[in-house]
Amino acid sequence: MSNRVVVVACAAALALCSACSKKEEPAEPVVTVQTAPVQRGTIQQVVTSEAILFPIQQSAITPKISAPVKKFYVNRGDRVHKGQLLAVLENRDLEAAAVDNRGSYEQARAAYAIETSSALPEEWQKAELEVKTSKEALDAEQKVFDSRQQLFREGALARKDLDASAVSLAQAKAQYQIAEKHLIALESAGKRDQLKAAKGQLTSAQGKYDGAAAQLAYSEIRSPIDGVVTDRPNYAGEMPAPGVPLLTIMETATVVARAHIPQSEAALLKAGDDATVTAAGDIHVSAKVALVSPALDPSSTTVEIWVEAANPDGRLRPGSAVTVSIVARTLKDVVLVPASALLKSPEGANTVMIVSDGRAHQVAVETGVHQDDRVQIAKGLSGGETVIVNGAYGLPNNTQVKVASSNQEQTGAAPAKENE
């Protein structure tokens, strides 16, 4: 019995020593993360740029003559129409010049009328009448000859009748040539030069009168476009500085935002693309691309684009800075993930961490279009997976994870490691 007790005691002692010498192994860590499902949907590629607003039309009216302002008919802010009288410059001297030149023009016109109507010699009038009469006779004989020649070819007319018609035609042609030479001889006597002189005097007088009338018209300032008066720096009685606009008219019912964007983005755009103009004061206005410049800006190597927006209420003010957002293309039924799910590998590749069977697995992906907080995954995911959106940074592959509860997500609980 004593030997048996000793053996049992030894065995117990050995077991106790073995248990004491064995170290405890730590439990595998579990990381709490937040996730989101990988979905399929629609995403838009949006080109965004800063821009400056311009009116659809603008006219800085500079007077063509230098004279004090006699009267203004509009003020800044008034809406005007094309052709409307806006201002008048002092023009009494111009009115007098126009009256004087008009008198000279009327006198020259009367002299020309007398010269052409009553100053023709009787012999010249007779010669013109002979030319006219002989030409009519020649045309009549020509018609008779052509008709008889056709009948002769058909065998319905005798040869002698055709010959008689040919003789008559030759006589009519000779008479016409004689009358024409007679008229030319009379005209060479100098009457044509006399009429040219009278015509030249009339033309000169008309030119002077038209010039004086134009100078007078320049004193009346009219609007070349429909729009709003945006600037009127002078007052009545003041002399506008040479080359300085007297009035500025802008059509602001439609405005154009002009922006410069990189060539790569401009290649995606075309006239008619949908856009949005965003201005100060949280103003958002729908717009359209009106122009994509066919050439580069040599100073910046960018492409100028014009975005046109309706502005009936005048909220968009020309000259102000705005932001334009243009929908370059729309992709449907593509794989989408939150932007926060994207990670960068040490080599610079894009990756995401998906959750499968309670563990995180790293997956290499290729991205496409980015829009706000969403990213298109062109390759690597097919939709339906679950990706980590918070807590994946620095997380080793195949790590055991725990998805945070909805309460933690709402309260912004930070991911933490825990031992079980």
Question: Any idea what the CATH number is for the domain that residue 76 is in?
Answer: 2.40.50.100
Which phi and psi (to 5°) does residue 210 adopt? Answer: -60, -40
Q: Are residues 210 and 278 in the same domain?
A: no
Last residue of a domain, one of 274, 302, 331: 331
Domain assignment present for 232: yes
> Do both 197 and 294 map to the same domain?
no
Q: Are residues 376 and 401 in the same domain?
A: yes
Rounded Cα–Cα distance for residues 27 and 30 (Å): 9
- 66 Rama class: left (phi>0) / alpha (psi -120 to 50) / beta: beta
Please report how the helices 191-218 and 92-117 are oriented relative to each other, as an axis angle in degrees rounded to 10: 160
210 and 106 belong to one structural domain: yes
Residues across the chain: 420
Same domain, 173 and 224: no
Q: Residues 6 or more apart from 129 whose CB is under 8 A from it? A: none
The confidence score (pLDDT) of residue 413 equals 38
Nearest-5° angle of CA 98, CA 101, CA 106? 120
Model pLDDT, residue 412: 41
**How many angstroms separate the CA atoms of 64 and 55, rounded?**
24
3-state secondary structure of 224: coil
Whether 223 and 366 map to the same domain: the answer is no
My answer on whether 75 and 224 are in the same domain is yes
Give every CB contact of residue 271 below 8 A, 6+ residues apart in sequence: 288, 289, 290, 291, 292
Distances, alpha carbon 60 to alpha carbons 12, 80, 233, 252, 417, in Å: 110, 14, 12, 14, 71
Q: CA 229 → CA 66, 73, 248, 308, distances in Å?
A: 21, 11, 6, 21
Range of the domain at 83: 63-88+219-244
The answer for 348, left when phi > 0, alpha when psi is -120 to 50, beta otherwise, is left
Domain shared by 314 and 339, yes or no: no
Q: Which two tokens stand for residue 380?
A: 């690597």
Cα separation, 316 vs 325, whole angstroms: 16
- What is the tally of structural domains in the chain? 4
- What pLDDT sits at residue 121? 58
| Pair 120, 189 in one domain | yes
Please check whether residue 209 lies inside any domain of the structure: yes
The alpha carbon of residue 256 and the mean position of all alpha carbons in its chain are separated, in whole angstroms, by 8
SS3 content of the chain, % helix, strand, coil (to 5): 35, 35, 30
* CA neighbours closer than 13 Å in the CB half-sphere of residue 152: 15
pLDDT of residue 76: 93
For the chain (length 420 residues), average pLDDT per consecutive 10? 47 51 64 89 90 94 92 94 94 89 87 67 75 88 86 82 84 88 70 74 88 90 94 92 92 94 91 93 92 89 94 92 92 91 86 89 89 89 89 84 63 40
pTM greater than 0.75 (yes/no): no
